[in-house]
């Protein structure tokens, strides 16, 4: 499937119904259904628990289906439907004892359509697809279509094998996205990269596939020259061998996903541009491959950054923060209203909070609170970790301004955040997401493979902050 091929069709009265019901609306639904269907649901003790699902019999076979919602309101409730329902066109019919309280979508159309699309996705570029998913007939789901397309794009980019998506191809994806939305695109390579993004160049020097920085500048139709400027930065390491500090073979098995931060930044940018938010937007991704060769950076090398700070390379496998630091320096020089970076940065973040939510670091408490609330509202959770000043000295180096790692075994995600903080003035609000960008197993709405994480929360926070009405 491609983002242009979402399993959604216009409203269709002939579509079979999926009755979505909460426990407090179950008796109302049973009274509305055909007697045989109500008797069947009573016989199987259907209680409208979350994800509880049954097909409903009819005179000619299947007449519909029923889906339990429990008390949840998240899109993932609908994620199993595309592959549980028989082929054909279906529609969602909600039954509530009280007025619909699905939040933030009062009618439920966008919530259901988004969850349905997230569950329908499969990466089939190199494998014969299985049975096509069912299709959903839904009105008024423009927001769901925009977000589903963005998330499918993110997943496709992460799932693509590293032999086919190198630095140049990832940069191409950024340029193509910007061009589609009428943005001014840019790409920096070669000597210009060495001069303007020396740490990006240093990370990519070990690969035969040259590093690049690519992105675009966009302005909403209602945004003037003084409109708030949001700057997005993404780590785009298309494959991470670890460099001379080589990863073990098992540690490389998912390293095609190390450009997940860049992919998520592009997905967030797509949502912002689709919604035509009244802001100015810059998106920049560092596209590199961390390989081993006679040209690769070595442990104890010293690199001069765009900011002028010197960095001792304590570990070549801590390359993501080197990719980001020049991008953050450039962003902060423009003094935007907000800087956001996304990266698959540390295993320590996964140890701390697991794979399903990004670790949030932020230098502004009000913005962090707003973002956490947005994540809760749209069911795209984040968890805040501290930029703890007491660990800042752990980055000290005897031969350079700082080291890219700490010699201590603790707080790896925090130390990485503190490294990045050196390149952003405290006066500029800054959000850093350390994410896994991957599903280890298939669950409703979350197929195994690359994943968009936190970007619906980020989009909601940006939208409500810069377009509050």
Per-residue b/e over 57-92, b at no fewer than 16 CB within 10 Å? Answer: eeeeeebbbbbbbeeebbbbbbbbbbbbbeeebbbb
* Spatial distance between the Cα atoms of 386 and 392, rounded to a whole number of angstroms: 12
Whole-number CA gyration radius for the chain: 24
CA angle centred on 387, ends 233 and 290, rounded to 5°: 45
Strand partners, 187: 214
Number of Cβ atoms within 10 Å of the Cβ of 184: 12
Residue 249, both tokens: 């073979």
Out of 72, 209, 217, 247, the active site residue is: 247
Contact of 371 with 461, CB cutoff 8 Å: yes
Residue found by looking up tokens 């899109």 in the block: 75
Does the annotation count 321 as an active-site position?
yes
Out of 122, 235, 321, 422, the active site residue is: 321
* Spatial distance between the Cα atoms of 259 and 435, rounded to a whole number of angstroms: 11
Residue found by looking up tokens 């989009």 in the block: 459
Residues assigned a catalytic role? 247, 321
């Amino acid at each position: 499937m491609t983002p242009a091929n979402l399993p959604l069709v216009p409203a269709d009265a002939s579509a079979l119904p999926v009755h979505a019901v909460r426990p407090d609306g179950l008796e109302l639904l049973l009274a509305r259904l055909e007697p045989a269907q109500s008797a069947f649901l009573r016989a199987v003790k259907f209680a409208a628990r979350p994800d509880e699902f049954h097909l409903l019999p009819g005179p000619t076979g299947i007449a519909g289906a029923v889906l339990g919602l429990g008390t949840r309101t998240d899109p993932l409730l609908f994620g199993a439907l595309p592959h549980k329902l028989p082929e054909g066109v279906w529609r969602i019919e909600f039954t509530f004892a009280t007025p619909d309280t699905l939040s933030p979508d009062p009618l439920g159309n966008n919530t259901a359509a988004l969850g349905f699309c997230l569950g329908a996705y499969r990466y089939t570029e190199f494998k014969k697809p299985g049975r096509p998913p069912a299709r959903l007939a839904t009105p008024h789901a423009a927001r769901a279509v925009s977000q589903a397309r963005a998330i499918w794009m993110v997943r496709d980019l992460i799932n693509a094998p590293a032999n086919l998506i190198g630095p140049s191809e990832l940069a191409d994806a950024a340029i193509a996205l910007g061009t589609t939305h009428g943005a001014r695109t840019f790409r920096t390579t070669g000597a210009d990269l060495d001069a303007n993004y020396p740490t990006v160049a240093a990370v990519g020097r070990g690969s035969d596939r040259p590093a690049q920085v690519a992105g675009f500048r966009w302005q909403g139709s209602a945004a003037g020259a003084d409109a708030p400027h949001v700057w997005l930065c993404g780590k785009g390491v298309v494959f991470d061998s670890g460099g001379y500090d080589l990863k073990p073979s098992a540690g490389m098995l998912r390293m095609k996903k190390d450009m997940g931060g860049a992919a998520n930044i592009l997905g967030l940018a797509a949502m912002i541009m689709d919604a035509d938010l009244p802001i100015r937007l810059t998106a920049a991704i560092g596209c590199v491959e961390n390989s081993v060769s006679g040209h690769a950076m070595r442990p104890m090398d010293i690199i001069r950054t765009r900011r002028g700070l010197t960095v001792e390379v304590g570990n070549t496998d801590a390359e993501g923060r080197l990719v980001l630091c020049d991008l953050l320096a450039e962003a902060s020089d423009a003094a935007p209203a907000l800087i956001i970076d996304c990266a698959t940065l540390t295993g320590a973040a996964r140890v701390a909070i697991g794979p399903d939510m990004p670790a949030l670091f932020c230098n502004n408490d009000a913005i962090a609170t707003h973002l956490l609330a947005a994540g809760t509202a749209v069911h795209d959770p984040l968890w805040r970790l501290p930029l703890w000043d007491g660990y800042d000295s752990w980055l000290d180096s005897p031969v350079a301004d700082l080291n890219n790692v700490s010699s201590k075994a603790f707080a790896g995600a925090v130390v990485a955040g503190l490294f990045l903080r050196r390149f952003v003035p405290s006066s500029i609000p800054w959000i850093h997401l350390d994410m896994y960008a991957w599903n280890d197993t298939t669950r409703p709405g979350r197929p195994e493979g690359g994943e968009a994480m936190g970007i619906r929360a980020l989009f909601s926070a940006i939208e409500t902050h810069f377009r509050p009405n």
